[in-house]
Amino acid sequence: MTYSEKVLYSHLDDKFDERIERGTSQLKLRPLRIACQDATAQMALIQFMSAGMESVAVPTTVHCDHLIVSRDGEAEDLPRAMKAHREVYEFMESACQKFNMGFWKPGAGIIHQIVLENYAFPSGMMIGTDSHTPNAGGLGMIAIGVGGADAVDVMAGLPLELKAPKVLGVRLTGELSRWASPKDIISAVAGMITVKGGTGSIVEYFGPGAKTLSATGMATVCNMGAETGATTSIFPYAPQMAEYLRSNSRLEMATAIESIALELQADPNAEYDRVIELDLSTLEPRINGPFTPDLSTPLSQFGAAVEENKWPEKLTAGLIGSCTNSSFEDMGRAASLAQQALDAGLKPKMPLLVSPGSLQTRETLDEAGILPVFEKLGAVMLPNACGPCCGSWDRVDMPKV
């Protein structure tokens, strides 16, 4: 079996005993965890209340990250959200207390970054009411984005029903060099398979190149796999996953995972429905878009493409962070460029906005001297929330249509 199938099928409902065929069988699964963001959690909680249960059947958390609108910076944006959505936040917090759910307050961080730091682990399975739930695949977890109604079923003790996915393998060789970063991997893959190419499939990365990426780099790749329509994306176990668990004070989990590490890989003769080959050593930084996330253009060809296709030539804002790009690795790269700009006496000619993924990430970046570099450059530090990434951005520099 492939690694993703090992994990997926180990979470089948005890009563499920049918023959499994990829792309055909209807599976009944038992996820170990549920995560909900505040925009989708409201109706999910109301629906769960109608079930008449005293507690959720599966560990569940609610994360307040989508309703905070970015505009002026953390000092003003967070208090404004707390005032505007006070009733919603109070309802969700009280419901979580009543039904034994975890509640992450506004400003704590983005759902997917919080999950990666605190809950994700290799060989586990979870669902989340957000399309970028597969972020946890960076720690070898089957993490599937679902609708609120599906989440409520699992909260109430019912199995998750899912058509057995096909498995699209991406074999990585070589090692990233020069300017390329993990996000260029998924940018290239999206360009190869399009926004529909992953539909009905799990994208499983493997090969020697996969072992050269950081845990947060793998998370970035899995996070953005949602743009291909994939059920989820996942990496098999690598030692850097245990290192990440330890760095987040999850020593016991890291030790437990290391004891079964040999099992957390695809079988030697595992069969994939399709395999894509990608040499990281030759991968060039890419820009995806405009208009669609699968329009992938190597950076060296982007200028000519803009002119040829008459794409907009003027950039009006720069955004760094969100659940996809707020790791220490990502922020460190950007801060290095920012410092070079400062040393050369340069300042941004457009607004530069920074969204740390979580309070913990923010504190780590601050201690390492990374956030002060952005502040010196004049960047606006946004709350630890989704902000512009999910559209919660009040752009005062743009006309309202």
With bands split at pLDDT 50, 70 and 90, how would you rate the model's confidence at 178? confident
For 354-383, what is each residue's pLDDT tens digit? Answer: 998 899 989 999 999 999 999 999 999 999
- The whole-number pLDDT of residue 322 equals 84
In 3D, which of 32, 222, 56 has the Cα closest to residue 131? 222
With bands split at pLDDT 50, 70 and 90, how would you rate the model's confidence at 401? confident
| Percentage, residues of the chain above pLDDT 70 | 100
Q: Taking 90 as the threshold, does the pLDDT of residue 321 lie above it?
A: no
Domain annotation covers residue 290:
no
Q: Taking 90 as the threshold, does the pLDDT of residue 172 lie above it?
A: yes
| Percentage, residues of the chain above pLDDT 90 | 90
Q: For 106, which DSSP code?
A: T
CA 51 to chain centroid, in Å, comes to: 30
Domain annotation covers residue 397:
no
Number of domains in the chain: 2
Q: Taking 90 as the threshold, does the pLDDT of residue 19 lie above it?
A: yes
With bands split at pLDDT 50, 70 and 90, how would you rate the model's confidence at 396? confident
Residues 98 and 208 in one domain: yes
Query: Looking at the DSSP assignment, which residues form a beta bridge with residue 203?
Result: 168, 233
In 3D, which of 260, 280, 49, 264 has the Cα closest to residue 148? 49
- Stated pTM of the model: 0.96
Q: Average model confidence (pLDDT) for the chain?
A: 95
Q: Taking 80 as the threshold, does the pLDDT of residue 318 lie above it?
A: yes
Domain annotation covers residue 399:
no
Cβ atoms of residues 357 and 327 within 8 Å = yes
Domain boundary among 282, 301, 330: 282
For 64-119, what is each residue's pLDDT tens digit? Answer: 999 999 999 999 999 999 999 999 999 999 999 999 999 999 999 999 999 999 99
Peptide bond into 290 cis (omega under 30): yes
Cβ atoms of residues 33 and 124 within 8 Å = yes
In 3D, which of 92, 69, 90 has the Cα closest to residue 79? 69
Cβ atoms of residues 168 and 272 within 8 Å = yes
Helix (H, G, I), strand (E, B) or coil at 241: helix
Residues 377 and 255 in one domain: no
CATH number at residue 124: 3.30.499.10
Q: Give the β-pairing of 380-381 and 352-355.
A: parallel
Domain annotation covers residue 87:
yes
Query: Looking at the DSSP assignment, which residues form a beta bridge with residue 276?
Result: 170
Question: What is the residue-wise DSSP string for 312-327?
Answer: ------EEEEHHHH-S
Residues 197 and 339 in one domain: no
- The whole-number pLDDT of residue 398 equals 80
Give the total residue count for the chain.
Answer: 401
Domain annotation covers residue 288:
no
**Radius of gyration in angstroms for the set of CA atoms belonging to the chain, rounded to a whole number:** 21
Residues 180 and 277 in one domain: yes
For 242-283, what is each residue's pLDDT tens digit? Answer: 999 999 999 999 999 999 999 999 999 999 999 999 999 999
- The whole-number pLDDT of residue 105 equals 97
Tokens of 106: 């506004």
Domain annotation covers residue 300:
no
With bands split at pLDDT 50, 70 and 90, how would you rate the model's confidence at 323? confident
> Which contacts (CB < 8 Å, 24+ apart) does range 366-371 have?
368/328, 368/332, 370/328, 370/331, 370/332, 370/335, 371/331, 371/335
Question: What is the residue-wise DSSP string for 49-96?
Answer: HTTT-SS-SS-EEEE--SS--BSS-HHHHHHHHHHHTHHHHHHHHHHH
Cβ atoms of residues 358 and 385 within 8 Å = no
Domain annotation covers residue 398:
no
Tokens of 149: 């109604």
CA 239 to chain centroid, in Å, comes to: 20
Domain that holds residue 259: 3-282
Cβ atoms of residues 389 and 114 within 8 Å = no
Cβ atoms of residues 361 and 113 within 8 Å = yes
φ/ψ bin of 194: left (φ > 0), alpha (ψ from -120 to 50), beta (otherwise): left
In 3D, which of 271, 13, 31, 224 has the Cα closest to residue 127? 31
Cβ atoms of residues 70 and 386 within 8 Å = no
Element (DSSP H or E) covering residue 118: helix 111-118
Mean pLDDT in residue range 377-390: 92
- The whole-number pLDDT of residue 179 equals 84
Domain annotation covers residue 370:
yes
Residues 372 and 251 in one domain: no
Helix (H, G, I), strand (E, B) or coil at 19: coil
For 107-131, what is each residue's pLDDT tens digit? Answer: 999 999 999 999 999 999 999 999 9
Element (DSSP H or E) covering residue 375: helix 371-376
Residues 253 and 318 in one domain: no
